[in-house]
C-alpha cells in the first residue's frame, strides 16, 4: 500500500509561508517578495518591473512556495568569520546538501590549496591577482567557463565574451544537463529553440498534453493555468510513470474555491515505462494515421519529411509500440481521440523527456504528433518546454554556449575589434572528460553546482580534483565546492539579483525579457556583483584595450552591447529609460511559418529505443523540498517520502522482489551503489523506481545522448539487494 500523501498546493504552502516569514521577519520578507526583481526559482517568470508576485499578464498575487524558500534562504545569516577555521575540509566533505545550504551565505572569499586541512580567508585583491596571474599563464584551450542559469544576462554575457576574447570557446551552461534536447529538437523540427507559445496561449488552449514534468512541485505557478483550463471545460493529459498527487488534484493558493476544495488537473493519467515515451508517441502517430486523423493538408503545405515519419510509424507493430511504451492500445487510442477533438492543444514537457539517451528523438517525436494533429502555428496551440532555472534561457540566448551563431560572432568581433577563436568548444560533459584526462588547467563556475549535477559522482570528484585551479562565484555552500575542488580552489561570494547595486535582466521561458531593479545585500560582508568580479578579472588578464572591461562594469553599457550583438534583443539597449519589458520577436509561432531553411516544419523518423526491461529503470527526480542540488527540506510531502535516502517502488515490484515497505536495501547502478536505502511503496509504474537527485548521481553512468550531450538521468538500470 502506498503511504499517505498530501494533495498538491493548498494550506501546506500557506503554512510553510507563514513559518518561513517568522524566521526572517514578515515585513522584511514581504518587501523582498514584492520588490521589482525577477523571481529566483523557475523560468515561468514573475516579478520584474510589474513588481514581485506578478506574472507576465499582470496578474497578482502569484504565490509560490519555491520562490519563498529561495528568498528566505538568501536572507538567513552569513557564515561567521571563523567558520572555515572551525570546519576542516574533512568536516565540510561530510555535509549533506541540506546541511551545506543551511550553513548560511558566503560573505568573504576563501581559498584552499592541495594538501591544506582547511579553507582560508583571502582578501579580494589577492584572490583576483591569483586568478589573473594563473589565467595569463594558461593556454586558453585548457581553460573552461561554466554558467548555471540563475545569473543575469549581463554577467553571463560578460563572462562568455571575456572567455572568447581570452581565446577559448569552452563556455557551456547547465542546459546541457537540462533542456538541451528540447533546444536541439525544436531547432531541427521548427527552426526555433524555445517555446512557440506565450502565457496568453495557455488561456486559449483547450487541451494540455503534459509529458515528463511535475509542475506541481517544480513550476507551481503553471498549476494556476492548468486548474483554470479544467475549470473552463478543457482537458489535461498527463504522461508520467509516477502518479503525482499534485497532477491529480491541486489546491491553488490564490483562488478561494480551489484553495479549499482543490482543482482537478488530469483528465487522463497515463503511466508509461521510464523512457517509454518515444514508443508511446510513435504509437500515437500510428493510431492517428490508422484513424485517418492526420491533418494531411496541413502537412503537405507546411511540413517536410512527413511521409518518412508516418511510414516509420506504420512499420512498427502494435506489439512493439505497446511493449516499448508500457501503454496499452486502448489508452493510445483514447489519447489520439482527445488530440483529434481538441481545437487547440499545447504540448508541455520537462526532464522526463530530455533526460534520456534518446532525448532529442523524444522531442522530435513530440513535434511529430503536434504537427500531425495541426496543433502548431496557431494561437492557443504549440510546443512548450517547461524551462528550469529562472534565467537559463537568457544565459543561452545571449550566447553562453560553445558555438556562436556566425552573425553573433561577427557582431561581437566588430564590437570588440578583435578576432574571436574558431576552435570548437566543449559541451558540459566533454569538459568533464577533458578534466579527467588532465587536459584542463582552469575552470570558472558562474554559480551552480557542476559536481552535484553530474552523473557518476565518484568519477566527477576524480575528474574535477585534477584541475589545477577552480574558481566558484557562489551565494551559498554546496558539496560541489568540496568534492568538485581543484588543486587550488577559490570560492568568491556574490550578490543575488535582488541585492545587486545595478539593475539586471532575465528571460523567462515565454521569451519575455524582464528588468530586475536590484536592491541591497541581505547579509553584511564582502559580497560583490558577479559582473564586477568578471570585469576585474578581465581587466587584469587582458588590460582595457581593445575592450574596455572597466567601462563594462556599467550594466547599461553591457545592455547596449547585447542590443547590438544579439538578434532580437534591440529593445534591451533602451530598457533603462523605457522600463519596457519585452517579448523577443520571432520566437512565438502563431502562423505556420517556420524559421527553418525552407520555411517548413520538418518531421523526422524517430526509432524506438531498446529499453532494458530486465533491470529496474531508475528515474532520478526532485522532491517537493529541493531546488536542484539545493535541499531545503528532507521530507517530500506530496509523495509521502519521509527522507532523502529512499527508493520509490510499486507494490508489485516490492512483492516480486520479496521486499517490504520500509525495509532498508542496497541499490546498485552502473556506476556505484548506495546502501541503507529505505523502500517506499508508492503509485509508480511497475518496473520503474525513483530516487532523489543529486544523491543518486553516485549510481548513474554517464550515458549521454549523442546530439544533446545530455546524460540519461531518467533511464538508469539498477538492481536491488535486500
Ligand atoms: N521546486 C523546484 N522547482 C524547480 C527545480 C527544483 O529542483 N525544485 N528545478 C528547476 C529545473 S533546473 C528544472 S530543469 C525543472 C525540472 O522540472 P521537472 O522536469 O518537472 O523535474 P524532475 O523531478 O526532474 O522530473 C519530473 C517528472 O518527470 C517524470 N519522469 C521521469 N522519467 C520519465 C520518463 O521517462 N517519462 C515520463 N513521461 N516522465 C518521466 C518524473 O516522474 C517526474 O514527475 O524544474 C525547475 N524548477
Ligand atoms: N541525476 C540527476 N542529475 C541532474 C538532474 C536530474 O534530474 N537528475 N537535473 C539536471 C538539471 S535539469 C540541472 S539544471 C542541473 C543543475 O545544475 P546547476 O545549475 O549547476 O546546479 P544548482 O543546484 O542549481 O546550483 C546551486 C548553487 O548555485 C549557487 N547560486 C544560487 N544562486 C546564485 C546566484 O544568484 N549567483 C551565483 N553566482 N550563484 C548562485 C549556489 O551556490 C547554489 O548552491 O543538474 C542536472 N543534474
Ligand atoms: Mo534544469
Buried b (16+ CB within 10 A) or exposed e, 205-222: bbbbbbbbbbbbbbbbbb
- Please tell me the predicted confidence (pLDDT) of residue 22: 78
**Quick one: cell of 450?**
557542476
Residues of the chain with CATH 3.40.50.740: 102-178+391-498+526-552
Q: Which of the ligands is closest to the CA of residue 669?
A: 2
According to DSSP, residue 382 is labeled E
Report the residue count for the chain. 722
Overall pTM > 0.85: yes
Specify the CATH superfamily of domain 180-386+595-602: Dimethylsulfoxide Reductase, domain 2 (3.40.228.10)
Q: Which of the ligands is closest to the CA of residue 701?
A: 2
Residue having the nearest C-alpha atom to atom 11 of ligand 1: 388
363 closest CA partner among 606, 619, 711, 710: 606
Residue having the nearest C-alpha atom to atom 1 of ligand 1: 218
Can you name the residues that pair with 674 across neighbouring β-strands?
A: 667
9 closest CA partner among 340, 227, 252, 325: 252
**Quick one: cell of 663?**
525495509
Ligand 2 atom nearest to CA at 106? 42
- Give the list of residues 6+ apart from residue 397 with CB closer than 8 angstroms, or none: 153, 507, 566, 569, 584
How far out from the chain centre does Cα 446 lie? 15
Ligand 1 atom nearest to CA at 213? 20
- Please tell me the predicted confidence (pLDDT) of residue 2: 62
Interatomic CA distance for residues 313 and 443, integer angstroms: 45
Which strand ranges, in their side-by-side order, compose the sheet holding 263-264?
8-9, 249-251, 263-264
Ligand 2 atom nearest to CA at 497? 35
- Ligand 1 close to Cβ of residue 97 (< 6 A): no
- What DSSP assignment string belongs to 330-342? HHHHHHHHHHHH-
| C-alpha 297 to ligand 1 mean position (Å) | 36
- Ligand 2 close to Cβ of residue 713 (< 6 A): yes
Ligand 1 atom nearest to CA at 239? 38
Residues of the chain with CATH 3.40.228.10: 180-386+595-602
For residue 668, give Cα distances in angstroms to 176, 675, 700, 703.
26, 9, 9, 16
φ, ψ of residue 659 in degrees (nearest 5): -110, 180
- Please tell me the predicted confidence (pLDDT) of residue 1: 57
- Please tell me the predicted confidence (pLDDT) of residue 319: 97
- Ligand 1 close to Cβ of residue 686 (< 6 A): no
438 closest CA partner among 464, 400, 419: 464
Residues of the chain with CATH 2.40.40.20: 616-721
Interatomic CA distance for residues 699 and 386, integer angstroms: 26
| C-alpha 351 to ligand 2 mean position (Å) | 14
Q: What share of the chain is helix, strand, coil (3-state, %, to 5)?
A: 40, 20, 40
How far out from the chain centre does Cα 558 lie? 25
**Quick one: cell of 388?**
528550469
According to DSSP, residue 60 is labeled S
* Cα Rg, the chain, nearest whole Å: 24
Say if CB 30 and CB 17 are below 8 A apart. Answer: no
Say if CB 194 and CB 392 are below 8 A apart. Answer: no
Residue where the block lists cell 566543449: 426
102-178+391-498+526-552: which CATH number, 3.60.15.10, 3.40.50.740, 3.40.50.300, 3.90.1150.10? 3.40.50.740
Ligand 2 atom nearest to CA at 480? 44
Q: Which of the ligands is closest to the CA of residue 213?
A: 1
The residue ranges of the chain whose pLDDT is under 50 are none
- Ligand 1 close to Cβ of residue 626 (< 6 A): yes
- Please tell me the predicted confidence (pLDDT) of residue 11: 66
Say if CB 562 and CB 494 are below 8 A apart. Answer: no
- Ligand 1 close to Cβ of residue 178 (< 6 A): yes
Interatomic CA distance for residues 513 and 510, integer angstroms: 9
- Ligand 2 close to Cβ of residue 450 (< 6 A): yes
- Ligand 2 close to Cβ of residue 496 (< 6 A): yes
471 closest CA partner among 493, 456, 454: 493
Q: Which of the ligands is closest to the CA of residue 452?
A: 2
| C-alpha 222 to ligand 1 mean position (Å) | 13
Residue having the nearest C-alpha atom to atom 38 of ligand 1: 212
According to DSSP, residue 380 is labeled T
Residue having the nearest C-alpha atom to atom 18 of ligand 2: 448
Topology at the third CATH level for domain 616-721 = Barwin-like endoglucanases (2.40.40)
Residue having the nearest C-alpha atom to atom 26 of ligand 2: 448
Residue having the nearest C-alpha atom to atom 37 of ligand 2: 447
470 closest CA partner among 106, 47, 169, 134: 134
**Torsion angle in degrees (nearest 10) through CA of 199, 200, 203, 206:** -90
Residue having the nearest C-alpha atom to atom 25 of ligand 2: 448
Say if CB 436 and CB 615 are below 8 A apart. Answer: no
Residue having the nearest C-alpha atom to atom 42 of ligand 1: 242
Per DSSP, the three-state class of 680 is: strand
- Ligand 1 close to Cβ of residue 712 (< 6 A): no
Amino acid at each position: 500500500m502506498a503511504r499517505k500523501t498530501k494533495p498538491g498546493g493548498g494550506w501546506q504552502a500557506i503554512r510553510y509561508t507563514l513559518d518561513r516569514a517568522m524566521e526572517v521577519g514578515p515585513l522584511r520578507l514581504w518587501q523582498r517578495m514584492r520588490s521589482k526583481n525577477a523571481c529566483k526559482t523557475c523560468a515561468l517568470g514573475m516579478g520584474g518591473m510589474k513588481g514581485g508576485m506578478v506574472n507576465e499578464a499582470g496578474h497578482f498575487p502569484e504565490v509560490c512556495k519555491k520562490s519563498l524558500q529561495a528568498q528566505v534562504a538568501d536572507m538567513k545569516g552569513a557564515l561567521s568569520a571563523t567558520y572555515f577555521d572551525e570546519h576542516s575540509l574533512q568536516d565540510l566533505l561530510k555535509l549533506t546538501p541540506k546541511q551545506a545550504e543551511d550553513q548560511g551565505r558566503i560573505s568573504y572569499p576563501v581559498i584552499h590549496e592541495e594538501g591544506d586541512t582547511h579553507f582560508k580567508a583571502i582578501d579580494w585583491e589577492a584572490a583576483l591577482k591569483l586568478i589573473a596571474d594563473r589565467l595569463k599563464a594558461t593556454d586558453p584551450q585548457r581553460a573552461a567557463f561554466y554558467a548555471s542559469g540563475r545569473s543575469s544576462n549581463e554577467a553571463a554575457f560578460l563572462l562568455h565574451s571575456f572567455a572568447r576574447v581570452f581565446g577559448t570557446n569552452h563556455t557551456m551552461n547547465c542546459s546541457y544537463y537540462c533542456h538541451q534536447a528540447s533546444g536541439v529538437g525544436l531547432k531541427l523540427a521548427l527552426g526555433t529553440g524555445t517555446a512557440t507559445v506565450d502565457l496568453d496561449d495557455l488561456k486559449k488552449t483547450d487541451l494540455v498534453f503534459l509529458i515528463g514534468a511535475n509542475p506541481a512541485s517544480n513550476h507551481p505557478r503553471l498549476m494556476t493555468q492548468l486548474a483554470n483550463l479544467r475549470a473552463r471545460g478543457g482537458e489535461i493529459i498527463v504522461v508520467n510513470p509516477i502518479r503525482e498527487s499534485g497532477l491529480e488534484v491541486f489546491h491553488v493558493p490564490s483562488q478561494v474555491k480551489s484553495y479549499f476544495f482543490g482543482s482537478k488537473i488530469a483528465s487522463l493519467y497515463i503511466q508509461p515505462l521510464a523512457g517509454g515515451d518515444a514508443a508511446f508517441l510513435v504509437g500515437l502517430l500510428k493510431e492517428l494515421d490508422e484513424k485517418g486523423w492526420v491533418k494531411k493538408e496541413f502537412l503537405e503545405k507546411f511540413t517536410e519529411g512527413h511521409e518518412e515519419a508516418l511510414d516509420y510509424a506504420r512499420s512498427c507493430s502494435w506489439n512493439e509500440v505497446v511493449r516499448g511504451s508500457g501503454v496499452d492500445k486502448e489508452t493510445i487510442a483514447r489519447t489520439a481521440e482527445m488530440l483529434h477533438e481538441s481545437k487547440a492543444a499545447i504540448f508541455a514537457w520537462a526532464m522526463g523527456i530530455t533526460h534520456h539517451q534518446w532525448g532529442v528523438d523524444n522531442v522530435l517525436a513530440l513535434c511529430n504528433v503536434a504537427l500531425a494533429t495541426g496543433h502548431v502555428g496557431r494561437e492557443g496551440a504549440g510546443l512548450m518546454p517547461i524551462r528550469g532555472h529562472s534565467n537559463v534561457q537568457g544565459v543561452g540566448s545571449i550566447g553562453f554556449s560553445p558555438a556562436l551563431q556566425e552573425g553573433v560572432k561577427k557582431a561581437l568581433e566588430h564590437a570588440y575589434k578583435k578576432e574571436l577563436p574558431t576552435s570548437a568548444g566543449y559541451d558540459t560533459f566533454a569538459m568533464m572528460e577533458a578534466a579527467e584526462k588532465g587536459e584542463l588547467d582552469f575552470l570558472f563556475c558562474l554559480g551552480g553546482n557542476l559536481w552535484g549535477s553530474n552523473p557518476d559522482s565518484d568519477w566527477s570528484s576524480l575528474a574535477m580534483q585534477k584541475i589545477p585551479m577552480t574558481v566558484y562565484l557562489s551565494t551559498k555552500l554546496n558539496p560541489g565546492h568540496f568534492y568538485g575542488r581543484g588543486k587550488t580552489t577559490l570560492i568568491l561570494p556574490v550578490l543575488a539579483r535582488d541585492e545587486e547595486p545595478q539593475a539586471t535582466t532575465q528571460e523567462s521561458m515565454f521569451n519575455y525579457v524582464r528588468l530586475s531593479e536590484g536592491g541591497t545585500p541581505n547579509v553584511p560582508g564582502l559580497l560583490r556583483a558577479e559582473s564586477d568580479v568578471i570585469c576585474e578579472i578581465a581587466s587584469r588578464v587582458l588590460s582595457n584595450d581593445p575592450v574596455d572591461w572597466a567601462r563594462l562594469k556599467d550594466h547599461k553599457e553591457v545592455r547596449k552591447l547585447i542590443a547590438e550583438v544579439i538578434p532580437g534583443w534591440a529593445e534591451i539597449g533602451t530598457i533603462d529609460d523605457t522600463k519596457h519589458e519585452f517579448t523577443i520577436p520571432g520566437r512565438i509561432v502563431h502562423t505556420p511559418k517556420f524559421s527553418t531553411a525552407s520555411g517548413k516544419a520538418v518531421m523526422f523518423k524517430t526509432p524506438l529505443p531498446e529499453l532494458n526491461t530486465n533491470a529496474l529503470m531508475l528515474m532520478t527526480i526532485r522532491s517537493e523540498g529541493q531546488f536542484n542540488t539545493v535541499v531545503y527540506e528532507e521530507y517530500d510531502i506530496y509523495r509521502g517520502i519521509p527522507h532523502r535516502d529512499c527508493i520509490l517502488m510499486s507494490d508489485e515490484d516490492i512483492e516480486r522482489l520479496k521486499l517490504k515497505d520500509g525495509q532498508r536495501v542496497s541499490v546498485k547502478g552502473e556506476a556505484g551503489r548506495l546502501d541503507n536505502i529505505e523502500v517506499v511503496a508508492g503509485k509508480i509504474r511497475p518496473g520503474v523506481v525513483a530516487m532523489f537527485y543529486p544523491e543518486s548521481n553516485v549510481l548513474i553512468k554517464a550515458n549521454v545522448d549523442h546530439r544533446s550531450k545530455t546524460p540519461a538521468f531518467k533511464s538508469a538500470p539498477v538492481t536491488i539487494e535486500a
